[in-house]
Amino acid sequence: MITQLEKEVVFRFLKTRKNDGFLNIISIFSFIGISLGVAVLIIVMSVMNGFRTELINKIIGFNAHAVVKESNTPLKLINDNEFTKNIPSNDGEAVILNKDNTKGIFLKGYLENDYKKLQIVNNEEYYGSKSLNNNSISIGKELSIYLNVNIDDKITVMSPAGIQTLVGTLPKQETFKIISIFDSGLSEFNENIAYINLETLENFFNKKKENRFLEFYFKNPKNIEKHKKNLSNLYPDSIIYTWSDMNKSLFSALKVERNVMFIILSLIIIVAAFNIISGLTILVKNKTRDIGILKSIGVTNKSIKKIFFFIGFLIGTSATLFGVLIGTFFSIYIENIRQFISNIFGISLFPSDIYILNSLPSEINITSIIIISLCSIITTIIVSIYPASKASLLDTVKTLKYE
């Protein structure tokens, strides 16, 4: 514990005088450096957390949370409280032929009633009919722009499955009517995926009904590893993959990037914290006479060490708290700030065609803020120990003699 005398000396030494001009500059820059380091680190971590969450929400909103495939026997539908629905599906790759445009496409097939249950169909960004019957197709927004087509237009799709004719085997071609246009929020999906009726798909690709797989949609899709384990118990001989498995490389890259950014930005705090050593060393030099007087009236070396240690600790802690406030404020209103800067300077700071998302996401994580704050304060504590120890070791006689 710090005594009342030590508190008064600490606050007295913190008050700058005219002859402490350079010391004051160092203290200010230490404070600003630590505050900015903490604030920037919180903002970056919040944006990356928000980006990861938004990406997960879009992926699990568009894709099945888990898929179970069986190569030998047809899969049976089951009922369980853990998932909202499980529906049969199948897929295949084809080519769209439309006037002068040719585009590879990944077709996904669903029964009409199952298709109406999909989350992507039941949102505000879905336009058109939900009746996915024979020879109808639902395409993404980007694909409709690329092909220059709209609802009720017709497109020709060519399948790699062959059909026997008098002149040999030719690939199948079918004409589909566009009944709807969807927007998953991910341009890559919108451009490369389309939906058709499951029975139509099986006929189009010469697939058997027994080759269908099951798509599972869970109430809590983020807890996917637990769900995958349960599915493994229900279907021990089947192939099971989840949204996490299909996007493992993407989320691994995001995790690595977040960790690297944390390390790099932490260096800002460390560099700023080391300015405290310079500040406290100059303070000790300027207060040599005061230290000598304090020792002469009976103040112990331990108290002197505590006084200078708490000076560094107060600078670092107050700078950290100020940085937390700034970082939290910017994290909450970062999208408003982005829009303001974009409108003022007429530039796009977060183009949706590059970053997929339409707005700058942010998710404040209390655990991250606590970790960042603790790292900053611990760094401050470490760098404050050396100059405080040097101050306590000053010789009383020599300090007063040369002063």
pLDDT tens-digit series, residues 182-195 = 988 777 888 899 99
* Pair (260, 360) in one structural domain: yes
Q: Find, among 124, 111, 118, the residue nearest to 183 by Cα.
A: 124
The answer as to whether 237 is a domain residue is no
Q: Provide the pLDDT for residue 18.
A: 52
| Average pLDDT of the residues in 244-268 | 80
* Pair (300, 382) in one structural domain: yes
pLDDT, tens digit, 9 for 90 and up, residues 100-142: 778 889 999 999 888 988 888 888 888 999 888 888 999 998 8
- In the listed set 161, 194, 211, which residue is the last one of a domain according to the structure? 211
* Pair (284, 391) in one structural domain: yes
* Pair (328, 380) in one structural domain: yes
For residue 53, give the DSSP letter: H
Q: Provide the pLDDT for residue 73.
A: 57
The answer as to whether 136 is a domain residue is yes
pLDDT, tens digit, 9 for 90 and up, residues 156-181: 998 887 666 655 567 788 899 999 99
Does pTM top 0.75 for this prediction? no
Q: Find, among 175, 212, 194, the residue nearest to 106 by Cα.
A: 194
The answer as to whether 229 is a domain residue is no
Q: Provide the pLDDT for residue 180.
A: 93
Beta strand 66-69 pairing with 213-218: antiparallel
* Pair (202, 261) in one structural domain: no
Count how many domains the chain has. Answer: 2
The answer as to whether 231 is a domain residue is no
Helix (H) or strand (E) holding 69, with range, is strand 66-69
Q: Which residue has the higher pLDDT, 85 or 106?
A: 106
* Pair (162, 263) in one structural domain: no
Distance, in Å, from the CA atom of 198 to the CA atom of 269, rounded to the nearest integer, reads 57
Name the region of 36 (left: φ>0; alpha: ψ -120 to 50; beta: rest).
alpha
| Average pLDDT of the residues in 213-239 | 83
Alpha helices by DSSP H, listed for 172-247, are 187-192, 198-204, 224-234, 243-246
The answer as to whether 222 is a domain residue is no
Distance, in Å, from the CA atom of 243 to the CA atom of 15, rounded to the nearest integer, reads 58
Structural domain including 370 reads 4-55+250-402
Q: Are 277 and 387 in contact (CB under 8 A)?
A: yes
Where does residue 46 rank: exposed (0-12), middle (13-18), buried (19+ CB within 10 A)?
A: buried
The answer as to whether 296 is a domain residue is yes
Instruction: Tell me how far apart the terminal alpha carbons of the chain are, to the nearest angstrom.
Output: 31
- In the listed set 211, 238, 260, which residue is the last one of a domain according to the structure? 211
Q: Provide the pLDDT for residue 350.
A: 65
Helix (H, G, I), strand (E, B) or coil at 150: coil
Q: How many CB atoms lie within 10 A of CB 92?
A: 19
pLDDT, tens digit, 9 for 90 and up, residues 362-382: 888 898 899 888 888 888 888
Identity of the amino acid at 397:
V
* Pair (254, 368) in one structural domain: yes
- In the listed set 162, 189, 211, which residue is the last one of a domain according to the structure? 211
* Pair (271, 398) in one structural domain: yes
* Pair (314, 264) in one structural domain: yes
Q: Which residue has the higher pLDDT, 387 or 331?
A: 331
For residue 88, give the DSSP letter: E
* Pair (39, 134) in one structural domain: no
For residue 301, how far is the Cα from the chain centroid?
A: 49
* Pair (34, 82) in one structural domain: no
Distance, in Å, from the CA atom of 119 to the CA atom of 292, rounded to the nearest integer, reads 75
The answer as to whether 240 is a domain residue is no
Q: Provide the pLDDT for residue 351.
A: 62
Q: With pLDDT > 70 as the criterion, what percentage of the chain qualifies? A: 83
Where does residue 57 rank: exposed (0-12), middle (13-18), buried (19+ CB within 10 A)?
A: middle
Helix (H, G, I), strand (E, B) or coil at 359: coil
The answer as to whether 60 is a domain residue is no
For residue 42, give the DSSP letter: H
* Pair (171, 263) in one structural domain: no
Q: Where is mean pLDDT largest: 87-91, 249-253, 305-309, 334-338?
A: 87-91
Q: Are 90 and 198 in contact (CB under 8 A)?
A: yes
